[in-house]
Amino acid sequence: MNMFATLLIVPALLTAETAKPAPIVLQTFKAPTGTFTLSQTPDLPSGIEQATEGVPFLMRGYAEKRLADVNPAYRRVVLSHDASSVSIQFDGRKPVRVPLQGGTAWTREDGETFWVNASASPSQIMQTYKAKDGERTNEFTLSPSGDSLLLKVSVRSPKLTKVLHYSLVYSVLK
């Protein structure tokens, strides 16, 4: 191989090796965005009771109260996003802005700290809060007609014998 060909090939190989994948551009997706108001709630007390069935009797009351306290049926959700992050706000609380690559530490109003991460696909946004005693995953999916938002919640803890699952339905605020 002559010197001229080598000079052409080496920079091309270096460029190909250091090229980074393009970031996810959510503006091209139909990922949920906007303000939504609660239109349908689950029977959360029944779900909490089922999730705590196998918890020892002396701890069950505490577990039920804790789950009820940290899983309110939020009346309003505001979702927004840009190319690198999503922002989710419940009931006028401080929004949680999470980068799509990695995650962020977030402290709730009561002082409890979580590690929060998020991901997005063309039709949904996933958000996971991890704490020392468990985790909560929020899966936001916009209906095909775009007039409602389904929020599926899963709460896991090594202290629970079952996963708490429930769904909330929100209408688009017009």
Sign of the CA dihedral with 66 first, then 69, 74, and 75 last:
positive
pTM for the complete prediction? 0.77
Side by side, the strands of the sheet bearing 76-81 are 96-99, 85-90, 76-81, 34-40, 164-172, 148-156, 134-142, 124-131, 113-120, 104-107
User: In terms of C-beta distances under 8 Å and separation of at least 24 residues, what long-range contacts does 49-52 make, across chains too?
Assistant: 50/162, 50/164, 51/155, 51/160, 51/161, 51/162, 51/163, 51/164, 52/160, 52/161
pLDDT at 101: 84
Domains, the chain, in order of start with CATH, read: 27-172 (2.40.128.20)
Tens digit of each residue's pLDDT, the chain (174 residues): 443 333 333 333 333 343 433 333 333 334 566 678 888 778 888 999 999 999 999 999 999 999 998 888 889 999 888 888 999 999 988 899 999 888 999 998 889 899 999 988 877 899 999 999 899 999 999 888 888 899 999 999 999 989 999 999 998 876
The residue behind tokens 């039709």 is: 123
